[in-house]
Amino acid sequence: MTAIVRAKAPLRISFAGGGTDVSPFPEREGGCVLSSTINRYAWGTLRPREDGRICINSLDFGVSLAYGSRDELTYDGEMDLAKAAINRLAGDHHGGYDLFLHTDAPPGSGLGSSSAMMVVLVGLLKEFHALPLTDYEVAELAFAMERVDLGIAGGMQDQYAAAFGGFNYIEFLPDRVIVNSLKLSADIQNELEYNLLLCHTGKVRLTERIIDDQVRRYEGGEADTLEALREIKALTVEMKNLLLHRRLDEFGRLLDLEWHHKRRMSSRISSPELDELYAVARREGALGGKITGAGGGGYMLLYCPFERKHVIAERLREMGCEIHDFALEPLGLQTWRVNGNFGH
């Protein structure tokens, strides 16, 4: 019996640098981000079929599509991530399979779930076709499929975070990407987990509009956007150094400054409702925080003194938010094989 292939890739929280990984800024000035993967995942299973058909199943959306393996898969808004991976990686292979896909957070959450799913799809097909891809190549392929083939607006950080995993300072240079894994001691990671609060705002983001607005402002030379991006880039380096020197309260306070600069990049990044949530968290004692991802909604990440964390969490619950526990995840994309009878 042909083995079933499975894969998972972690979602991420971004602390600083988001926006500097969005073209054309990295090509012109070089960008950098500071992020960590967490124990929320995109998941996938590839089960070979005997009839040469390809069936794609989204467990999140309850959608299933079926094709002949020789069919041209056109992008029409349904299962396009999976189609892009198949179009790029199937080669001359005409065997069929079922794909089952789901994520622990919905698209638009600000945790990089769409890019993590793209990495999972590359992982499944890499394993199925025995392709010798490095972590860098997996991330580069996922980026090319999502941003080039499908034309989905966004940056580069999420694909690299999901492929590599762990706590990373990632540099986006004009000609290459460098993933610097930060070897943080266990006590620093534990203290971060203890003081960080992840809260779902209940707001859905329209990421593409935010990204398009930011790029338009940058390319138009708007002074506020240019200055904000450069300030964020400098802050990212400073926050990395504070972490490595164990100055976590200062790190938490700089989250507030990062969010202040990020809001200057585009008027779409925040809203009166999000501003009010953040203001309440700050009044209750949060040292700093930000909306994860491009902004506009999704998850809010807060750095709280431990004795105020429960008070802040309760106040945000009263305002309609959901609080989510999480841990930092050291591993990136993982693939494995099981025989058809495993677990039955």
The most distant pair of C-alpha atoms in the chain lies apart, rounded to whole Å, by 62
Strands (E) located in the chain: 4-16, 31-49, 53-58, 63-68, 96-103, 167-172, 177-181, 196-200, 288-291, 299-303, 322-324, 334-338
pLDDT at 338 > cutoff 80: yes
Q: How far apart are the first and last CA of the chain?
A: 14
pLDDT score for 131: 94
Greater pLDDT, 266 or 166: 166
**pLDDT class of 306 with cuts at 50, 70, 90:** very high
Is-contact 289 303, C-beta < 8 A? yes
pLDDT digits (tens, 9 = 90+) for 103-117: 998 777 889 999 999
pLDDT at 343 > cutoff 50: no
Is-contact 170 160, C-beta < 8 A? yes
pLDDT score for 319: 94
**Summary mean pLDDT of the chain:** 91
Q: For the packed helices 113-128 and 157-164, what is the interaxial angle rounded to 10 degrees?
A: 50
How many Å separate Cα 310 from the centre of its chain? 26
**pLDDT class of 223 with cuts at 50, 70, 90:** confident
pLDDT at 124 > cutoff 70: yes
Q: What share of the chain is helix, strand, coil (3-state, %, to 5)?
A: 40, 25, 35
One DSSP character per residue, 100-166 reads: EEEESS-TTSSS-HHHHHHHHHHHHHHHHTT----HHHHHHHHHIIIIIIS-----SHHHHHHHH-S
Q: Which residues are catalytic?
A: 158
Q: Mean pLDDT over residues 92-102, rounded?
A: 88
**pLDDT class of 217 with cuts at 50, 70, 90:** confident
284/312 Cα distance (integer angstroms) = 6
Residue 74 DSSP class: -
How many Å separate Cα 287 from the centre of its chain? 24
Integer angstrom CA distances of residue 134 from 3, 108, 298, 333: 22, 28, 31, 11
Rounded to 10 degrees, the C-alpha dihedral 320/324/325/331 comes to -160
**pLDDT class of 187 with cuts at 50, 70, 90:** very high
pLDDT at 280 > cutoff 60: yes
Q: For the packed helices 113-128 and 80-89, what is the interaxial angle rounded to 10 degrees?
A: 30
pLDDT score for 291: 87
Q: Enter the tokens of residue 119.
A: 């990495």
pLDDT digits (tens, 9 = 90+) for 37-72: 999 999 999 999 988 899 999 988 888 999 886 677
Is-contact 161 112, C-beta < 8 A? yes
Picking from 137, 121, 106, 136, the residue whose alpha carbon sits closest to that of residue 293 is: 106
325/258 Cα distance (integer angstroms) = 23
pLDDT digits (tens, 9 = 90+) for 132-172: 999 999 999 999 999 999 999 889 999 999 999 999 999 99
Is-contact 312 279, C-beta < 8 A? no
How many Å separate Cα 71 from the centre of its chain? 31
pLDDT score for 296: 53
74/55 Cα distance (integer angstroms) = 14
pLDDT score for 344: 45
Is-contact 197 315, C-beta < 8 A? no
Q: What domains can you pick out in the chain, each with its CATH number?
A: 4-183+329-338 (3.30.230.10), 186-324 (3.30.70.890)
